[in-house]
Amino acid sequence: MAEIYKYAKRYRSQIVAALDANPTTKRTQLQHKFEQVIALMEDNIYECCSEA
């Protein structure tokens, strides 16, 4: 999961642009869902780091 997060964070702008350009993903609001997942993972990573 951490590797997927690293990839998503590194290519975030390109992924968001691609999701926004596709009519199907735009209709299903996949870009917004992707951003929510990234935000949740950032919060979880912060909590893990602060507990150490």
Q: What is the pLDDT of residues 7-51, one digit of tens each?
A: 988 999 999 999 999 999 999 999 999 988 888 887 765 544 444
- pLDDT at residue 37, as a whole number: 87
How far apart (Å, rounded) are the C-alpha atoms in residues 39 and 46?
11
Instruction: Name the burial class of residue 38, with classes exposed (0-12), middle (13-18) and buried (19+) by CB atoms within 10 angstroms of its CB.
Output: middle
